[in-house]
Structure 1
């Protein structure tokens, strides 16, 4: 069984994330967990704690959730579960990954733009897990991805063959091109990247990552998602 975790505030692109998960399952049994995270109520009274935990959904959120359920109802091999999480820490998040046996975390663009600290914290916690992360792009989402561009991290000392072997074992992606990391000189690399993406019909980027100390910065660093608009599959280096 291949299970997916989709952190969400039930914005419209959650539907794209669910469709992507269904397609990733490739007709094998799967469970898609929609996780809604909130701060734990600050109260010593158990009754007040329970009252504050009851958070209703807006009309638009209800519509998104119903659409997601409709998609799953018409996917014979998939189930959907809504998990409400109050409060978050590194051990708690790892416990969620393990408890649901999550094989892929899917992060939508809207979720990463959330301003509440607990949502930003979850995104950073996800980056320190061994579980692969699929960052959906800012453009219209394809439900399936096939051809990948591997962005090589010079500090990782990983061969493209090792990355492709991991992809072949766990996904259906083929690396058709590769490039060095271009964080510091994107403007110089941009024309060549656009040419490669067009030439090889690339619909996915693949990168590797390491765990890092969690810090909150006032200004967000523009990532590959923002620069190219394509989905990015991020693999934890020790996992590969």
Structure 2
């Protein structure tokens, strides 16, 4: 059984994230943890603390949650759990990954676009964990991902064969093409990327990452799946 962690504010693309988890689990079954984070109430009064923690869901959020539960109820060997987390830190997030034995973090596009600091903080914390991360794209949901484009980081000193072996052991993706990292010169590479994606019918990008210092910037730089609209599987370099 594989366990998946989906940070969410219960926007519509949470349903796509749950579908993706079910697809990745294949027939082995899964447990999906929908994690909703909030700032811990800033009060010394226990009664005020409990009152502020009682935050209900909107009608649209209820619909998304019930849809996710319906899908799991009709999927053999799969379970779903809602985890409400008040306050967040690096040790707490690592503990959540370990306790739930998470094999893959799935980040919906809507969650990465949340403006609250605690949501931005979670995204950065996830990047510093050794657990693989699947960044969902803006395109409509696809039942499964098959053909991948590997974005090679020259500083990582990683061979594509090592990355493919990791994919073989843990996923069902095949690297059919690769390119150098284009992060600093996207405009120049964009036409070649579009041509490769179309030619090889690529539906997934694969990258490696290292841990980084947590920073909050006023202007957020677009990452690859926001630029290209494709899902991105991000692997911590020590794992790959």
TM-score of the superposition, structure 2-length normalised? 0.99
Aligned mates of 1:115, 1:2 — CA distance in 2: 30
Whether 1:202 aligns to 2:205 is no
Aligned to 2:183: 183
Between the two proteins, the alignment pairs up a number of residues equal to 240
Aligned to 2:35: 35
- Report the Cα offset of residue 106 of structure 1: 0.3
Aligned mates of 1:232, 1:226 — CA distance in 2: 10
- Report the Cα offset of residue 91 of structure 1: 0.1
Aligned mates of 2:154, 2:126 — CA distance in 1: 23
Question: 2:156 aligns to what SS in structure 1?
Answer: coil
Q: CA contact under 8 A between 1:16 and 1:143: conserved in structure 2? A: no
Q: How does 1:89-100 map to 2 (within 5 A)?
A: 89-100=89-100
| More displaced 10-residue stretch of structure 1: 139-148 or 52-61 | 139-148
Q: Structure 1: where are the runs of 5+ without partners?
A: none
Deviations, residues 64-113 of structure 1 (Å, cap 9, x unaligned): 00000001011012100000000000000000000000000000110001
Aligned to 1:217: 217
Aligned mates of 1:92, 1:37 — CA distance in 2: 12
Q: Structure 2: where are the runs of 5+ without partners?
A: none
Question: 1:155 aligns to what SS in structure 2?
Answer: helix
Aligned mates of 2:164, 2:15 — CA distance in 1: 29
Aligned mates of 1:143, 1:95 — CA distance in 2: 31
Aligned mates of 2:212, 2:97 — CA distance in 1: 18
Aligned mates of 2:143, 2:49 — CA distance in 1: 40
Aligned to 2:3: 3
Question: 1:102 aligns to what SS in structure 2?
Answer: coil
Q: CA contact under 8 A between 1:134 and 1:231: conserved in structure 2? A: yes
Aligned mates of 2:43, 2:34 — CA distance in 1: 26
Aligned mates of 2:222, 2:51 — CA distance in 1: 39
Q: CA contact under 8 A between 1:146 and 1:173: conserved in structure 2? A: yes
Q: Give the alignment's Cα RMSD to 1 decimal.
A: 0.6
Question: 2:183 aligns to what SS in structure 1?
Answer: coil
Question: 1:64 aligns to what SS in structure 2?
Answer: helix
Aligned mates of 1:73, 1:27 — CA distance in 2: 15
- Report the Cα offset of residue 139 of structure 1: 1.4
Question: 2:164 aligns to what SS in structure 1?
Answer: helix
Q: How does 1:1-240 map to 2 (within 5 A)?
A: 1-240=1-240
